[in-house]
Amino acid sequence: MATVAPTSMSPTMTTMAPTMSATGCAGNLTDTANTLTSMSNGLSMEAASMLLNFVCTNVAASSTELAGKVSELDEKLGYTNDAVNGAFVLANTYLVFVMQAGFAMLCAGSVRSKNCMNILLKNILDACFGAPVFWLFGYGFAYGASDGGNDFIGNDLFGLDDFNDWSGFIFQWAFAAATATIVSGSVAERCSFQGYICYSTYLTGFVYPVVVHWIWAQEGWLSAFNPDPLWDTGMIDFAGSGVVHSVGGIAGLCGAAIIGPRHGRFLEDGTPAPNFEGHSMTLVVLGTFLLWFGWYGFNPGSMLGITTGGDNVYLEVVGRTAVTTTLAGASGGIGGLFRARIKCGHWDLGAACNALLAGLVGVTAGCSVIEPWAAILCGLIAAVWFDFLCDVLLKLKIDDPLAAAPMHGGCGLFGVFFVGLFAKKKYVSQAYNDGADYGIFYGGDGKLLGCQVVGMLSIIGWTLVNIGAAFMIMRQLKFLRVPVEEESLGLDVSHHGGSAYNMTMMAEATATARKEKRADDF
């Protein structure tokens, strides 16, 4: 039997080695084994051993190289996913910030023309004061977690020290600014400027962030993201019916009750006086549409991502959230319109706008975990509930020019409760985790509903105590409310040196038009 020198290769081996190496790189182990078997026939044991070592070495090297490339590709895909999700959060932040323009238009249209500049300036300053305050204090109280953090309040990241989640911060700031803006509508037309600055700063820098920590931070005692959540489920408030709207609405209720009604708002018999309606339904409608548009950042954007890189679950949740948001707002508007028709005998544009917004507030907590038909039901109930609460406030002689307390406070709390009834198990698993409880109408054991009720009571108590105390202190110090004569004159003239509208020019234009009409008549 011929032998092959250890230091050389046969032509057959030299020819086949690249083929076998390529085969190994491709991972076709069966073909490689067959080739080795056929080549080893007629070879000595030593030659066969050399052949096997050669092939294994090349296959191992190729496999290592392939594994490295796969790892590199995975890393690059991870960077891509992070970039896509970061861009998603930023884009939705800009949509949420558009809501500030919506609030401004809604507020301006809902007050009398003599107070238009005042309410617009306060809306602008909600964002201006809110930004540095939330940067310095608010975000740290909401999400700071030094040494493991605690379940009540954040304790780190003040001034964003050693921080890099910039898109996350700016998204959360937009929500904080929205919370403060809600209150300005409840105390409109009589709150002093210094009083406004005090309550807005306190709300944005401390009261609101603590509630955020409870419900949205991983360490929060109510959070569904807590590794050891309350009753093994935690509270579900996906985009802030409770965290944002209820806090803002209850704060507005405190302000409206403590500051008192506008001068002359109620007659001696307790009935509301006429001529206190807003001056521009055009602005109200514009504000309503801008808010609805911004809600597509508020609710779907709260998923904080749109891709996981491995499946389309995030995308499914985001799309479903947009659908439920749309249906709740639309059904709320329809419900409010027909309720006004039955109640007042006419098709009321203002009622439709307010009810539409009430539906959007109501669905915000459960938009990711309820079915479309449930979103329609949510909007309809929210519209009726809002109208009922407005009547209650009037009976109590609490003057809320924009009905912010019933809309955001009342409908926000309703939305939180609604989740405990109608959250679907599959959707809860997608948006949160498999272990969380779901709505009792879907077979849940009531733990989720219990968490929702505890959350509602906690938000009410925390906000009433803190904001109520702040408004009471300001009232005792006599700088919460403007003097009656300034209020009667209008805050635009008495505080801002002019008017939102050039009334002289308008009067001259009207007089000129009348003269021309008389001339034409002759």
Beta pairing partners, 235: 223
CATH number of the domain enclosing 490 = 1.10.3430.10
CB 129 within 8 A of CB 505: no
* Residue 408 in domain: yes
Q: Are residues 58 and 116 in the same domain?
A: no
Calpha distance 491→190 (Å, rounded): 8
Q: Are residues 98 and 126 in the same domain?
A: yes
* Residue 479 in domain: yes
CB 383 within 8 A of CB 432: no
Q: What does the pLDDT read at residue 9? A: 36
Structural domains of the chain, count: 2
Q: Are residues 60 and 122 in the same domain?
A: no
The sign of the CA dihedral 360, 365, 368, 371 is negative
Q: Are residues 46 and 88 in the same domain?
A: no
Output the CA angle 130-367-371, nearest 5 degrees: 175
Q: What does the pLDDT read at residue 10? A: 36
Q: Are residues 392 and 290 in the same domain?
A: yes
Calpha distance 373→147 (Å, rounded): 45
Q: 458-490 in b/e burial notation, b at 16+ Cβ within 10 A?
A: bbbebbeebbbebbeebeeeeebbbeeeebeeb
Q: Are residues 425 and 475 in the same domain?
A: yes
Q: Please give the single-letter amino acid code of residue 31.
A: D
Neighbouring CB atoms inside 10 A of 309's CB total 13
Q: What does the pLDDT read at residue 52? A: 64
Task: Name every residue whose Cβ is closer than 8 Å to that of residue 149 and which is 6 or more positions away in sequence.
Answer: 155, 156, 217, 219
Q: Are residues 67 and 181 in the same domain?
A: no
Q: Are residues 301 and 346 in the same domain?
A: yes
- Identify the domain boundary among 54, 72, 90: 72
CB 154 within 8 A of CB 208: no
Secondary structure letter of residue 48 according to DSSP: H
Q: Are residues 34 and 178 in the same domain?
A: no
Q: Are residues 141 and 267 in the same domain?
A: yes
pLDDT tens for the 522 residues of the chain, in order: 443 333 333 333 333 344 434 344 444 545 655 665 565 555 566 666 666 676 666 666 667 767 766 676 666 666 788 889 999 999 999 999 999 999 999 999 999 999 999 999 999 999 999 999 999 999 999 999 988 889 999 999 999 988 999 999 999 999 999 999 999 999 999 999 999 999 999 999 999 999 999 999 999 999 999 999 999 999 999 999 999 999 999 999 999 999 999 999 999 888 999 889 999 999 999 999 999 999 999 999 999 999 876 678 999 999 999 999 999 999 999 999 999 999 999 999 999 999 999 999 999 999 999 999 999 999 999 999 999 999 999 999 999 999 999 999 999 999 999 999 999 999 999 999 888 899 999 999 999 999 999 999 999 999 999 999 999 999 999 999 999 999 999 999 999 988 899 766 555 666 666 666 666 665
Calpha distance 134→144 (Å, rounded): 12
Range of the domain at 259: 81-496
* Residue 507 in domain: no
Token representation of residue 154:
């954040």
* Residue 441 in domain: yes
Q: Are residues 398 and 448 in the same domain?
A: yes
Q: What does the pLDDT read at residue 506? A: 54
Alpha-carbon 496 to chain mean position: 33
